[in-house]
Amino acid sequence: MGRIPIRLRLTLAFAAAMAIVLAALGFLLYTFMASALDRGVNRNLRGRAEDVEALVRHGGIGLPSGVTFAQVLDGNGRVVDTTPEFTEPLVARTDVGRAKTGEFTVERHVPGSDELARLLVAPVDLDGVTRVVVVGESLEAKGDALENLLTLLLVGGPLLLVVSSVGAYLLAGRALRPVSAALARERRFVSDASHELRTPLASLRTELELALRRDRSPQELEAALRSAAEETDRLSQLAEDLLVLARAHDGQLPVRREPLAAAEVLSGVQERYARRAQLAARPLEVRAAPDVVLPADRLRVEQALGNLVENALRHGEGRILLEAVPADGRVELHVKDEGPGFATDFVDEAFEPFTRSDESRSSHGAGLGLAIVDVIARAHGGSAHAANGGGGADVWLSLPR
């Protein structure tokens, strides 16, 4: 049996907790309602008993009918006065004897009725002669009210549990969607990283095995070692790029901000790639006003711009322009070329790790250059963008000024 999905597990846990809460609330509500109804019955009985006691003391006869019923008994339990619906004593002679020591209440079926009633039995002293006042009230209304409440709880409780559980299931889906997407990206990242690592490792192993398989000339050994060195460099660069991305995902990519002149930063990148651009017959130019300054980490910004120049040299054509443009409190650091530009469907996902356009899949790149540009921009509180300009690709970092 497969594992229960986390969304369903969360919903089941919520449903169990909700069921306990609803059961506890239902029990408290039922208990409170029963207690309130009891207090109401007792207040009615006490009020009616006081009325009857006053009537007895003043020598009145003829007890009126009402919600409660009443009787006046002598010391032997015989009926002295009663409401019209009862002729027989409502309590036994033993209850009359018990009443002489103080009032009490009992619940029992009254004569001539199958309804349960609560009776208040209280003594009344008339110049040494004891009379017993008995007042009662049917508990049918109380029972009906509690039964209706119990029905409401038994029907409404499960219905509320189902509705809330469905809501919790939908809410868990919405809450877990970003987590699921992040996990999917993480799995894809690990899978792509494993693939990219296997390729140079396999090439390196192949070169070394071929070099050792039989006697080789010094020239062949040198060629094999050079190829192995290239694959080692590729592995080293890939490991460094993966480390940068991993630290960025943990929110720990360090940046040491200092005031930097944009022209100076772009010129430094220009100098680093000047020879490669010259060998490729690709003009590498800088355009930046001397007063454009931004707080940034020089090494990280130069790393990002270097990745962009690498891409322009590898995939672009014609002149490469490094340009700093102030824009709304920010500084945009552009790298433009005059090549074919990006494929239309590639621009939206250009900064995803291991993403490469179709025409560049055969190159040695791992598809991490633009991803690193993006994380460096974000570490500075900025963003990275890509577009097809007037005659080639235009990629830039937008950083706070």
| 150-184 residue pLDDT tens | 999 999 999 999 999 999 999 988 888 887 777 77
Residues of the chain with CATH 1.10.287.130: 145-249
Is the pLDDT confidence value at 400 over 80? yes
First to last CA, the chain: 57
Residues of the chain with CATH 3.30.565.10: 258-400
> Residues with Cβ < 8 Å from 347, sequence gap 6 or more?
386, 387, 388
Percent of the chain with pLDDT over 90: 36
More confident residue, 254 or 81: 81
- Rounded mean pLDDT of 26-55? 92
CATH topology of domain 258-400: Heat Shock Protein 90 (3.30.565)
Contact 368, 360 (CB under 8 A): no
Task: Look at residue 318 and give its three-state secondary structure.
Answer: coil
pLDDT at residue 360, rounded to an integer: 47
Q: Which whole-number Å values give the CA distances from 125 to 47, 97, 211, in the listed order?
A: 18, 14, 125
Residues of the chain with CATH 3.30.450.20: 6-138
- The domain 145-249 having CATH identifier 1.10.287.130: the answer here is yes
Distance CA 3, CA 9 (A): 10
pLDDT for 194-219, tens place per residue? 655 666 677 677 777 777 776 777 77
pTM for this model (two decimals): 0.54
Pairing of strands 129-138, 116-126: antiparallel
Residues 6-138: name the CATH superfamily. PAS domain (3.30.450.20)
Task: Look at residue 8 and give its three-state secondary structure.
Answer: helix
